[in-house]
Structure 1
Amino acid sequence: MEQYLFSSAFVMGASATTLLIIIFSFLFHSNSKQKVASIVGHPHSRSPPGSRGWPFIGETLDYLSKLRNGNIREFVVERAKKYGSSNVFTTSIIGHPMTIMCGVEGNKLLFHNENKLVKVWFPYTIEKIFEKTHVFVLTDFELMALFKYIGTIDNVMQLELKTQWKPNKPAIVRDLSGRYTIGVACRLFLGSRDSSMIEKLEKPEKDIAAGIISIPIDFPGTTFNRALKAVKKITTLLVEVIRQRKVDLAIGNACTTQDILSEMVNAIDENDELLKEVDIATHLIGLIHGGYDPIRCGLTFIVKYLAEFPQVYDLVFREQMEVKKSKEENEALNWEDLKKMKYSWNVVQEVFRLTPPILGTFREVIKDFTFGGYTITKGDKIHWTTYYTHWDSTYFPSPEKFDPSRFDGKGPLPFSYVPFGGGPHMCPGSDYVKMVTLVFMHNIVMKYKWELLVPNEKVVVDPHPRPTRGLPIRLLPHQI
């Protein structure tokens, strides 16, 4: 889940934020009269080369520009080549000096040395928005017997298909897949079957997603300010739900193991006391966010690629038809069914390679170490990105080609494919993602084919990759 708490990338947001950045830049520039000196390494320095850019904003504007246009790998590649630095360089983004480590070697070092050389680090915006979420969330998915919820997820998707996915009419995939992922979160985390809960959560969730790693200016109209307001709104809503659950538990209308909410209500903190209602709400916000925005991003691009590659769709359809034939009529999916969906999961992995829903995460150095001939010192902040290796022809020949067969057999070289991170903080929600995604694919493929209404739709990143018009499609029911 740590991977999902970091899932948002560096996003500008409202024009008010942009204006404030320009004002800060002008003021600093007027005082200094020149750009801050480069910190490029020299023969007597063991620090990685790079540049801090402008005061306060560093190189954030260039990062945001490339991110917005889906070229975040370009930001890294340009600097790695410029400094000839063995896949390591320094920069300054979102108000923090940052060391960028990239490539398989960088991934391997970071993932193998969690809590030895590096530890999880949260930028200010994440700490402020999620507060204590990371303390609790990491164990939730590990403790849950997730497999027993596959039938519930299947029921949610079937209901969404029946009520929201209308044939022969334009359907906006990003919106519909978002409804599905929030619907699953409502059922599994809150035990709620109330469809209005989806509407209550979706708009604030979008504001939270945009503000997670925005410019940390808490001023009306800024992305960060809207995110903080959204957290307050959802917290108020969830506290009411928590209080009602306590009543239901007391009178026997709910049980202590029926969902995450009941488990949290009975959870004990480090002082052997029940968690406070506001803390439970904070934990739930982290879970709901992790189960919403990154996953709907992945589902949207699965639909996109299946439309663009009909031969891939046909193979997925055949596999899913075999699964359906093995089931009784109206029998829900289970884990054994999902294990049969090997080709479909290869397709998902290739989608996640080309368009990773998670762009990267952060670490803080807790002990000096060397990498690429340079010294990374205690206290340094590190950022790594999935895009660097995912699009590297060294690890993925013809990286622009959509090819699910890359994941046959042993699959890619270790540490080259990292959509869920790695090491001790590899996302424990990966099984959850697999279940929600494969259940989605099974149901939509069994009911529909589809065509893109906007071919070659532009893709931007804010905070996750998204088609600018939400991927409108026309659903075509099977004639079987």
Structure 2
Amino acid sequence: MDFYATCILCLSLPLLLLAFRKRRFAPHLLPGTKGWPIVGETLEYMTAGRSGRPEKFVKDRAARHSSDVFRTNLYGADMAVFCGPSGNKFLFSSENKHVSPWWPDSMKKIFMFPEALGKLKNEDAKKRRSFMLEFLKPEALRHYIPVMDSVTRDHLATDWSPHKEVRVFPLLKSYTLALACRLFMNIRDPEIVRKFADPFARVAPGFVTVPINIPGTPFNRAVEGGKVLRQELLDLVRRRKTEISEGKDANARDFLSRLLLEGGDDGTALYEMDASTKIMGLLNASHDTTSTSITAIVNYLAQFPHVYERVHQEQLEIARSKGLDEFLNWDDVQKMKYSWNVACESMRLLPPAQGAYRVAMTDFSFAGYTIPKGLKTFWTVHSTNKNPKYFPDPEKFDPSRFEGNGPAPFTYVPFGGGPHMCPGKEYARLEILVFMHNLVTKFKLMKVVPNEKFIYTPSPVPVEGLRIRLLPHN
């Protein structure tokens, strides 16, 4: 028996050592949970947002599983949530190497024509993104600053000045949508703009909800709103193509006309659908996130008089350098340094966008964990924005955080990073600063509800619309 036992031990030992070696040096499986069947942890994510603390979802799981990356399931998709500046840096620098852009199927159902899904070539998508980047680059946008200034003046004169008190959020939704329609599609008719407003209001809440398409659910309302928008925009694309073919729009500078003139229109219905989707995405991003950003800024300007006063003095100095009917220009906007610090601190505390998604193109490792090919990934502002490690006393409103070199790299990324950084970053900056200039030079601000709560749906929304009392300057 001793002989046989010795033989078995000798034969088994190499196998045991090999198994131990593989276990010791193999990357760890990603920690986390998929949550409930179908819905995953979507309900918990939504609840955290509705409570006004979306960072709690990330913070709790990072503490429970890993502060670098953890696994979850949102909107029916298994995904890895990357945390901290190291996670942000890795994903931003891994575009087209380890990860590529990805949208949840629920968002595709809202934004895209069903018949176009999966039929667009990658080369075409890259070409049209490149065209969008060209249109939205600073050199191109500087020509639109006087238009932004003019539209803002008209909006404040019409919708704010006649009142002693306003609900800021709904007014800004209307303003940012009207401006986007003007700049991107050359639409000036308020009635046409209003036709887009209602379906857009149904779309955004459907982004962060359980993707169950049953009448009455938020997702169903978003899908139906998206269907209305796509058809309205498709009709607009076709009308604009007819105008161009008849020579009526040859010198237009708006995005839609230039897309059809210079963007490689192949004349197919698929191209028309893709153009409609591009416009829909551009309109949604430019008016939804920007309106929530400006709402947050107005909230803090009204809450902190000493901050308001510094912004007012900066903007008053610019206003005094202008002629009575002279519009703002590029050089004026570059002088608004403290105002932009205030905007950045507002977006840190009430971030308009929560993050973005990618998909793993191949197996890779991060922080010692295996990320398998096909797994979806998510970077989120909520792993850094209120983390005291990166922002001491994180709940305090302090624009000085953005003076000098500002926050540490990859800790503040409201527009993302890497090749797929938000293309509308400069557009948002200009729109925000032009609005701030006109607002503070025209009104003093006072909050009617001092501690009005913000909830996330998915962008931060004041529960009472942000009621502000407008006071004249002495």
Assess same fold via TM > 0.5.
yes
Please state if 1:96 is matched with 2:77: yes
Would the aligned equivalents of 1:73 and 1:388 in 2 still touch at CA under 8 Å?
yes
Q: Which residue does the alignment assign to 1:52?
A: 34
Query: Structure 1 residue 257: deviation in Å?
Result: 3.9
Q: Output the CA distance in 2 between the equivalents of 1:270 and 1:368.
A: 37
SS in 2 for 1:266: helix
SS in 2 for 1:473: strand
SS in 1 for 2:370: strand
Name the Cα RMSD after superposition: 2.1
Instruction: Identify the structure with the greater helix proportion.
Output: 2
Given the alignment, which residue of 334, 340, 343 partners 1:339? 334
Given the alignment, which residue of 314, 322, 329 partners 1:319? 314
Query: Structure 1 residue 146: deviation in Å?
Result: 1.1
Q: Which residue does the alignment assign to 1:112?
A: 93
User: Per-residue displacement from partner, 1:36-69 (whole Å, max 9, x unpaired)?
Assistant: xxxxxx9887112111222122222211111211
Query: Structure 1 residue 276: deviation in Å?
Result: 4.0
Query: Structure 1 residue 400: deviation in Å?
Result: 0.9
Residues 119 and 242 (structure 1), Cα distance of their counterparts in 2 relative to 1, 3 Å cut: closer
Q: Which residue does the alignment assign to 1:181?
A: 176
Matches within 5 A, 1:259-278: 259-269=254-264, 276-278=271-273
Given the alignment, which residue of 349, 366, 372 partners 1:371? 366
Query: Structure 1 residue 245: deviation in Å?
Result: 2.7
Matches within 5 A, 1:315-464: 315-464=310-459
Calculate the TM-score normalised by the size of structure 1: 0.86
* Range that drifts further, 334-343 or 379-388: 379-388
User: Per-residue displacement from partner, 1:285-326 (whole Å, max 9, x unpaired)?
Assistant: 111101111110001010000011100100000100111111
Q: Output the CA distance in 1 between the equivalents of 2:264 and 2:109.
A: 20
Please state if 1:78 is matched with 2:60: yes
Q: Output the CA distance in 2 between the equivalents of 1:89 and 1:235.
A: 36
Matches within 5 A, 1:242-257: 242-257=237-252
Would the aligned equivalents of 2:199 and 2:229 in 1 still touch at CA under 8 Å?
yes
Query: Structure 1 residue 270: deviation in Å?
Result: 8.4
Give the aligned length.
437
User: Per-residue displacement from partner, 1:58-109 (whole Å, max 9, x unpaired)?
Assistant: 22221111121122211111122122x2421112221122211101111111
Q: Output the CA distance in 1 between the equivalents of 2:405 and 2:240.
A: 46
Q: Structure 2 counterpart of 1:72, which letter?
A: P
SS in 1 for 2:301: helix
Residues 48 and 239 (structure 1), Cα distance of their counterparts in 2 relative to 1, 3 Å cut: closer
Q: Output the CA distance in 2 between the equivalents of 1:414 and 1:255.
A: 44
* Range that drifts further, 154-163 or 370-379: 370-379
Would the aligned equivalents of 2:111 and 2:230 in 1 still touch at CA under 8 Å?
no
Q: Output the CA distance in 2 between the equivalents of 1:52 and 1:275.
A: 36
Would the aligned equivalents of 1:268 and 1:274 in 2 still touch at CA under 8 Å?
no
Q: Which residue does the alignment assign to 2:20?
A: none
Q: Structure 1 counterpart of 2:134, which letter?
A: E
SS in 1 for 2:410: coil
Q: Structure 2 counterpart of 1:51, which letter?
A: T
Residue identity (%): 45
Q: Output the CA distance in 2 between the equivalents of 1:67 and 1:449.
A: 31
Q: Output the CA distance in 1 between the equivalents of 2:338 and 2:73.
A: 41
Calculate the TM-score normalised by the size of structure 2: 0.87
Would the aligned equivalents of 1:208 and 1:227 in 2 still touch at CA under 8 Å?
yes
SS in 1 for 2:384: helix
Please state if 1:301 is matched with 2:272: no
SS in 1 for 2:469: strand
Q: Output the CA distance in 1 between the equivalents of 2:155 and 2:71.
A: 46
Residues 268 and 339 (structure 1), Cα distance of their counterparts in 2 relative to 1, 3 Å cut: closer
Give the structure with higher Rg (CA).
2
Residues 138 and 201 (structure 1), Cα distance of their counterparts in 2 relative to 1, 3 Å cut: farther
Q: Output the CA distance in 1 between the equivalents of 2:369 and 2:242.
A: 59
Q: Output the CA distance in 1 between the equivalents of 2:83 and 2:95.
A: 16
Give the unaligned 5+ runs of structure 2. Answer: 1-22
Please state if 1:190 is matched with 2:169: no
Query: Structure 1 residue 256: deviation in Å?
Result: 4.2
